[in-house]
Chains A and B, each alone.
Chain A
Amino acid sequence: MTARRSMAWALVFAVAAGTLVDAQVSFERILRADQEPQNWLTYSGNLSGWRYSPLTQITPANVRNLELQWVFQTRAPAEANEKFEATPLVVDGVMYTVLPPNHLVALDAATGRMFWIYSAVISPLARVCCGRVNRGVAILGDTLFMATIDGHLIAIDAKNGRPIWDKALVDPALGYSFTLSPLVVKDKVIVGPSGGEYGIRGFVAAFDAATGTEVWRFNTIPGPGEPGHDTWTDAEKTAWKTGGGPAWVTGSYDPQLNLTYWGTGNPGPDWNGDPRPGDNLYTDSVIALDADTGRLKWHYQFTPHDEFDYDATQVPVLVDMPWQGQPRKLMLWANRNGFWYVLDRTSGQFLQGKPFTKVTWATGFDEHGRPRRALAPTQEGTLVYPNNQGATNWYSPSYSPRTGLFYIPSWMDTFSRYFKVPVEYTPGSQFVGRFPTMAFPALRPPAGAINQRLPEDGYGAIQAFDPKTGERKWEFKMIDVTDSGVLSTASDLVFAGGREGYFFALDARTGAPLWRASVGGQVSAGPMSYAVDGRQYVAIAAGSVLFVYAVRQ
């Protein structure tokens, strides 16, 4: 008995401290994520926002032999307003992903079998404009961070799914929620809220990863005395209080500049700018914040005084490359407003803005990069390209350092008619105006993949642009539009999907379709790639299911 017991002791509690330390996800590992391509340690794969996998086992030559390895279904048939938008993380053979709205699971990445599930208890007061969704978790050490649709940020033990701390950060009854995957920078967890349709006042804020204590907060809608407040020029001086400016898509980070970059959402109310005259900083902007203090280094506003709900909620893509003969730290940004931009990410200087689809709301840019606005909503309705869902949206773009190309999930040649109607603010209710007309359902088709739209309503595409020349290299056309992110790989493949319910692989240099799988549901998530025991996998969420593929053995 005694001998047996001591054996049990030895077996069970022989904790190898050295192994533990190595296994933890330090921030150093996240910074150098490209050096461990078998893992996917942050939302976009690396902190530069590339969604690029250095893995090369799946190639243009063998991609046709991809076959389904396993699937993982959400716990129940998703509610009508739930979509599976999460990008999984993979750490040393363990996958972490979030089922809508906030069920975090740990899975064996090779087989899909579950280690544990943590289900956040969601307040019935939670309200979200566009779906009870979550785009994934962040990790630091042995701790995962999930932000919930009822405004909590929760730290969860990656080993057993137990909560470590749980902070209620915002009031869900006022329309604040979290849908993004948090960003870990150094010892902090950075988040911003959703809720641009509820008259919130947006922010980007950093929390101590160990305790959940707030370290800094940048108000995306500056209050009295804060720089930018003078861009809210209503006589009553109250519009800023319900000014919107959410930050619901994960930012990026440049370690040399120590800047974290975030895109901000629309001003409130969405489709009538009269109650909020002025440029409405820092809505529809990219903001560059000191990662230690949250202090604003620079900003660039893509759509001043937006009345088309264009947001600027995209992943900032950070690239170092020559620009007009000089090496330069650049930022690539395909905006929902239909232009794709090249900015200097040290200073925020506007270098280039080019339409990547039909655009009529602006005719171009002045020498400072301010768009020349051409149209505005009217009582009788104004026809505007692109449509309200935009020329792209939160769907991650991709950058491949091998091809040097920038890949954009695109809604091509879509239009909306925008009407101006009076809008009143009521706390907790939508603060928007009249919803514009659209040929496409805003979020997803009501049932399946039936498509009876007309060719003149627009179409979906994956486009590849050369940032050096501004030239479009190729376009892969789809009949229907896409809410899918794009993944590029070091073997010159591009993976993406769309509303038609296909997940596919393209040649990254030519756009030629090389492989596809009918996944039977809309792709509303970004693909990612990882490896376990030397075997490369590609994962994508579609409908209510996570699909994982590898080359047939």
Chain B
Amino acid sequence: MRRRISVVLVALAGAIGTCLPATDRGKVIAQDHGYTPADIENGARLYQSTCSGCHGPAGDEIPGVELARGQFRRGTSDTDLIAIVKTGIPGTAMPPHAFSDQEAAQVVGYLRNMTVVRTGIGTTVLRGVGDPARGRTLFEGKGQCTTCHRVYGRGPRLAPDLTEVGLTRPLPELRDALLDPSATMRPGNRPFSVVTADGRTVSGRLLNQDSFSIQMLDSSERLVSVQKRNVREQGFISTSPMPSYRDTLTVEEVDDLVGYLVSLKGFNP
């Protein structure tokens, strides 16, 4: 067992280079449930071919379900999760799957290591993460991130809440988001805007909609519900309101900012 853990450590360290601080590497091993790198790799293939159609490549396309977060509403043990992968969840859109026990376990192995694995996949340039403390200073100061983002219950709510962004987003994506926000903006994070029949504009975050009404958090952070019969125009704004930091922060500063973001693991980590 000990030998297998070492193998995983070496393999993962190889895969992710120097992009995770030592403490996080420890966490990866602590979360290992005895999967070999080959298991995880095969699990990733199975996931991409079978699961990502609904759950998305990052495991976050079903509202309220963040597979990469490593916490699951309907099960905690691997046994629970293997059973869910195989038998589905009755009464929901999650169907049964004809995986063997080993294949289902490999999928679970991948889910357990999703963030880490994704960090090393499809990325040509990996930089080291910088210093989280310096990153925090930049986040709250020069970067003006707190003008829009909320962390640990403080800050505005219109831009994505970053309290657990270190759990849910792979590191390269965080870096790309700082350099080219519009290209990496997740569809659900696009600002939404409505022009009412009487010419009023309501902008903010789309929370919910149906054939007749729209629910939003508006720019004054009020929960508002608009009837579509009173709406003249509506739609997402496709460019991110976030500026690129390519020209305003140095490479080292971006590293530091990324270092801070990956340290954000939720209010009760």
Chain A interfacial positions (CB closer than 8 Å to B): 1, 4-5, 8-9, 11-16, 19-20, 23, 76, 92-94, 106, 108, 110-111, 113-117, 119, 121, 157, 159-160, 162-166
A11 touches B191 (CB 8 A): yes
- Nearest CB of A to B180, in Å: 13
Q: A12-B203, A121-B71 are in contact. Are A113 and B208 (CB under 8 A)?
A: yes
B241 touches A9 (CB 8 A): yes
Number of A-B contacts (CB under 8 A): 101
- Nearest CB of B to A387, in Å: 37
Q: A12-B203, A163-B267, A166-B267 are in contact. Are A20 and B221 (CB under 8 A)?
A: yes
Contact with A along B74-110 (1 / 0, CB 8 A): 0000000000000000010000000000000000000
Give the one of A1, A15, A106, A119 with max B CB within 10 A: A15
Cβ-neighbour of A19 out of B71, B73, B220, B267 (below 8 A): B220
Tell whether B239 is near chain A: CB-to-CB under 8 Å. yes
What residues of chain A lie closer than 8 Å to B201, measured between beta carbons? Answer: 11
What residues of chain A lie closer than 8 Å to B221, measured between beta carbons? Answer: 15, 20, 23, 159
A8 touches B267 (CB 8 A): no
* Partner-contacting stretch, out of B154-162, B168-176, B256-264: B154-162
- Nearest CB of A to B192, in Å: 9
Tell whether B204 is near chain A: CB-to-CB under 8 Å. yes
Give the one of B147, B219, B243 with max A CB within 10 A: B219
- Nearest CB of A to B212, in Å: 9
Looking across the interface, which residue of chain A has its beta carbon closest to that of B202?
A11
B210 touches A113 (CB 8 A): yes
What residues of chain B lie closer than 8 Å to A119, measured between beta carbons? Answer: 64, 73
User: Chain B contact residues (Cβ within 8 angstroms of A): what range?
Assistant: 35 or more
What residues of chain A lie closer than 8 Å to B203, measured between beta carbons? Answer: 11-12
Q: Could you list some 9 contacts between A and B, CB below 8 A?
A: A11-B193, A13-B148, A15-B158, A16-B220, A94-B223, A119-B64, A121-B71, A162-B161, A166-B267
How many angstroms between the C-alpha atoms of A164 and B154 in the bound complex? 9
Find residues 166-221 in chain B having any chain A CB closer than 8 Å to their own CB. Answer: 191, 193, 201, 203-204, 207-208, 210, 213, 215, 217, 219-221
A13 touches B225 (CB 8 A): no
Tell whether B222 is near chain A: CB-to-CB under 8 Å. yes
Main secondary structure of the interface of A (DSSP, over half): mixed
Looking across the interface, which residue of chain A has its beta carbon closest to that of B243?
A5
How many angstroms between the C-alpha atoms of A116 and B225 in the bound complex? 12
Tell whether B153 is near chain A: CB-to-CB under 8 Å. yes
Cβ-neighbour of A108 out of B71, B157, B215, B240 (below 8 A): B215
What residues of chain A lie closer than 8 Å to B156, measured between beta carbons? Answer: 13, 15
Looking across the interface, which residue of chain B has its beta carbon closest to that of A162?
B161
A13 touches B239 (CB 8 A): no
What residues of chain A lie closer than 8 Å to B243, measured between beta carbons? Answer: 5
A13 touches B267 (CB 8 A): no
How many angstroms between the C-alpha atoms of A515 and B77 in the bound complex? 53
Contact with A along B111-155 (1 / 0, CB 8 A): 000000000000000000000000000000000000110000100
B153 touches A157 (CB 8 A): yes
Tell whether B54 is near chain A: CB-to-CB under 8 Å. no
Task: Given A8-B191, A11-B191, output 9 extra A-B contacts at Cβ < 8 Å.
Answer: A11-B201, A11-B219, A12-B241, A13-B219, A15-B158, A16-B220, A23-B221, A113-B208, A116-B207
B217 touches A121 (CB 8 A): no
- Nearest CB of A to B105, in Å: 22
Q: A15-B219, A76-B91 are in contact. Are A159 and B157 (CB under 8 A)?
A: yes
What residues of chain A lie closer than 8 Å to B213, measured between beta carbons? Answer: 108, 111, 113
How many angstroms between the C-alpha atoms of A383 and B142 in the bound complex? 77
How many angstroms between the C-alpha atoms of A408 and B79 in the bound complex? 51
What residues of chain B lie closer than 8 Å to A113, measured between beta carbons? Answer: 208, 210, 213, 215, 225
How many angstroms between the C-alpha atoms of A15 and B193 in the bound complex? 15
What residues of chain B lie closer than 8 Å to A5, measured between beta carbons? Answer: 239, 241, 243
Q: A11-B219, A76-B91, A160-B157 are in contact. Are A115 and B241 (CB under 8 A)?
A: no
Tell whether B7 is near chain A: CB-to-CB under 8 Å. no
Looking across the interface, which residue of chain B has its beta carbon closest to that of A163?
B267
B91 touches A13 (CB 8 A): no
B239 touches A14 (CB 8 A): no
A164 touches B153 (CB 8 A): yes
Tell whether B268 is near chain A: CB-to-CB under 8 Å. yes
- Nearest CB of A to B234, in Å: 13
- Nearest CB of B to A493, in Å: 28
How many angstroms between the C-alpha atoms of A93 and B239 in the bound complex? 31
- Nearest CB of B to A345, in Å: 36
Cβ-neighbour of A13 out of B147, B217, B223, B268 (below 8 A): B147
- Nearest CB of B to A278, in Å: 42
Cβ-neighbour of B241 out of A8, A23, A106 (below 8 A): A8
Tell whether B237 is near chain A: CB-to-CB under 8 Å. yes
- Nearest CB of B to A39, in Å: 14
What residues of chain A lie closer than 8 Å to B159, measured between beta carbons? Answer: 13
What residues of chain B lie closer than 8 Å to A15, measured between beta carbons? Answer: 156, 158, 219-221
Looking across the interface, which residue of chain B has its beta carbon closest to that of A16?
B220
What residues of chain B lie closer than 8 Å to A12, measured between beta carbons? Answer: 158, 191, 203-204, 219, 237, 241
How many angstroms between the C-alpha atoms of A359 and B215 in the bound complex? 53
What residues of chain B lie closer than 8 Å to A8, measured between beta carbons? Answer: 191, 237, 239-241
Cβ-neighbour of A14 out of B219, B223, B267 (below 8 A): B219
How many angstroms between the C-alpha atoms of A163 and B221 in the bound complex? 17
How many angstroms between the C-alpha atoms of A113 and B237 in the bound complex? 24
A162 touches B158 (CB 8 A): no
Closest 4 CB pairs of A and B: A108-B225, A11-B203, A164-B153, A8-B241
Q: A12-B241, A19-B220, A115-B207 are in contact. Are A166 and B268 (CB under 8 A)?
A: yes
Give the one of A1, A12, A119, A165 with max B CB within 10 A: A12
